[in-house]
Chains A and B, each alone.
Chain A
Amino acid sequence: MQIVVLGAGTVGTSIANLLCLHGHSVTVVDSDVDYIRRVNETLDIRAVSGSASQSSVLFQAGVMGIDLCLAVTGDDEVNLVAASMSKAMGARRTLARVFAPVFRDMSTFDYQRHFNIDRLLSLEQLSAMELARGIRNPGSVTMENFAKGELEVKEVGIDEATPSVGVPLKNLKLSTGIRIGSILREGKMRIAGAEDAIQVGDRITLIGQREDIDEVTDVFRKTAEPKIGVVIAGGGETGYHLARSLEGERCAVVVMESSEERCEFLAANLKRSTVLQVDATRRAVLEEERVGSADVFVACTGDDENNIMAGVEAREIGAKRIMSIVGRPDYANVVGKLGIDLAVSPREVMARQVMSFLNSGPVISRSSLPGGSIEVLEIEVIQGAPATEHVLANLPLPSACLIAAVMKEDYVRVPGADDRLVAGDTVVALVDDSAVEDIISLFDINGA
């Protein structure tokens, strides 16, 4: 595919490199000639120097008719303008990286719609989602791209004979926001149907909004899951997003942040977390605040070395699991040896996200459920697609398929049988490998 990457910083360069390794044709644009020279020397890709927000530069880079344009310069405003222009100039899909949370909020002004950009991504939020998943739900599928992390897929093992065992799914009184997606039984994974009943020994996946999922999980367990004690070192964007997505019934969250001003913001906006104004890079502080009794310690101070040091100290004091943000690729080798259980690299998280966007036709992203033959497709509903012709119950959907959620703008709903898809919706579907083509043709205006 033809791809243009705007911005040749660490994020842009590493994604360009990865895309190149996957055989795509990549052009990189940056205003800094030194960056361009470095790219030319080290990577086998085309590099154009100039400002990404100038039409002449975008023209030279060839954004017309390309498959994907990524705006990942260090400047939010440049990314918005450049991604918007690229789309208008004929890039099929565009993604822009933004740092400031306000760009992703549409209450006052809808940036994504106004600038006609397919997705605004926050590296910090993506990293926080990755960490959150590692804490709440190890081994779950990557779903951060759906509804800004509001939608989650969770795997639950059925170990005990709860009242929900043996009852056909259609008779299980689950919250309306939840779907059972797949059942793994005797090594075979399949899409759950209304007549299926859960058996002891099954592993099932639940799909829905985070809060509903926590509630429903208890239906399948006799004993409630124990509360997880989480200490977050660093209350920047990543730490804040992480605390927000964890705080609640299942996690007791403590955030350590040294800036007084930032602490005030955190305390005002994190209703169910404890905010401490301390320097988490000092061992005495970690001891004093009893980090040793934490189930999970997460270091996201904004500095690799501090993160690694704090992680090592926390491990020594006795924290059970250590996670850290580590940006530099050459540190990856060391962190495991130092006893850090999960190191999240923002560049890698971003790269994975970008890779899932490299699809043709109405498919926006595509990922596989772990250990199975089931794919999670995110599909755009286009004007005139066969899928818009009837309510869901009357669509010729293959049985090995489940429409798990429908998104309109940022809002997710779990559709019922008499729901009808309209152009502009985005559908999240679980599909068996064998039925993927059938599903896509329902959404493709040329495929029917």
Chain B
Amino acid sequence: MKFADFVSAGSIKAGLETDTKEEVIAELVTALVAAGQIREEDNDGILKAIMKREELGSTGIGRGVAVPHTKHPSVERLVATVGVSQEGIDFNSLDGEKVQLFFLLISPPDQPGDHLRALENISRQLRDDTFCRFLKQSKTPEDIQQLLEEADNNQFVS
């Protein structure tokens, strides 16, 4: 599975404006609403579900990366967005480092296979240091979009 299959280009945020865990997640969910990927009335329910997942253990997987995710019946297919924070945000990450890269994913409950493939793709690509570094340096959504395309064409992971 490729980024292009589930990341909504119109919702990518290059300069996240908020600075706490919950606010960042809320900002990304709102971006998906603005891009027409999820309905406004589902905003709160989805935010709550993502926060509930964070209670079980942070999705900050280290090296400045977090992958907040949940399943929600209001979406009919996988939707995701990417956010980059210049300063980094305290996310209770595994390694204690601040998080700069956010991949937020919402899947329909009845497609557990696709959900896992998407998580796997995100994790695998983000293992590449160059990809991460370029993403963190991105200044515009277009930059991020281009990097995702390059990753889809296997230009980072050998």
Identify the stretch in B11-19, B28-36, B108-116, B143-151 within 8 Å (CB) of chain A at 4 or more residues: B108-116
In the complex the two chains form, is B55's CB within 8 Å of A110's CB?
Answer: no
Is A185 interfacial (CB 8 A cutoff)? Answer: no
Number of interface residues of A (CB under 8 A): 17
In the complex the two chains form, is A114's CB within 8 Å of B53's CB?
Answer: no
Q: How far is the CB of A270 from chain B (nearest CB, A)?
A: 10
Q: A105-B52, A107-B71 are in contact. Are A408 and B109 (CB under 8 A)?
A: yes
In the complex the two chains form, is B56's CB within 8 Å of A409's CB?
Answer: no
- Per-residue 0/1 for A110-124: is the Cβ within 8 Å of any B Cβ (1 yes, 0 no)? 100110000000000
| B interface residues with partner A (beta carbon < 8 Å) | 49-50, 52-53, 55-57, 69-73, 109-110, 112, 116, 119
One of B72, B73, B109 near A110 (C-beta < 8 A): B109
In the complex the two chains form, is B49's CB within 8 Å of A107's CB?
Answer: yes
Given contacts A108-B69, A109-B116, 8 further A-B contacts (CB under 8 A): A106-B71, A107-B69, A110-B109, A114-B112, A408-B73, A408-B110, A409-B73, A411-B72
Interface residues of A in 381-428 (CB under 8 A from B): 408-411, 413, 424
Which residues of chain A have C-beta atoms less than 8 A from B56's C-beta? 101-102, 105, 107
A269 to B56, CA, bound (A): 10
In the complex the two chains form, is A110's CB within 8 Å of B112's CB?
Answer: yes
When C-beta atoms are compared, the residue in chain A nearest to B57 turns out to be A102
Which residues of chain B have C-beta atoms less than 8 A from A269's C-beta? 55
Q: How far is the CB of A106 from chain B (nearest CB, A)?
A: 6
Q: A105-B52, A409-B110, A424-B110 are in contact. Are A110 and B57 (CB under 8 A)?
A: no
Which residues of chain A have C-beta atoms less than 8 A from B116's C-beta? 109
Q: How far is the CB of B79 from chain A (nearest CB, A)?
A: 15
Which residues of chain B have C-beta atoms less than 8 A from A410's C-beta? 109
In the complex the two chains form, is B53's CB within 8 Å of A107's CB?
Answer: yes
Which residues of chain A have C-beta atoms less than 8 A from B70's C-beta? 107
A268 to B126, CA, bound (A): 28
Q: How far is the CB of B128 from chain A (nearest CB, A)?
A: 22
Interface residues of A in 18-60 (CB under 8 A from B): none
A105 to B49, CA, bound (A): 10
When C-beta atoms are compared, the residue in chain A nearest to B74 turns out to be A411
In the complex the two chains form, is A108's CB within 8 Å of B53's CB?
Answer: yes
A322 to B92, CA, bound (A): 37
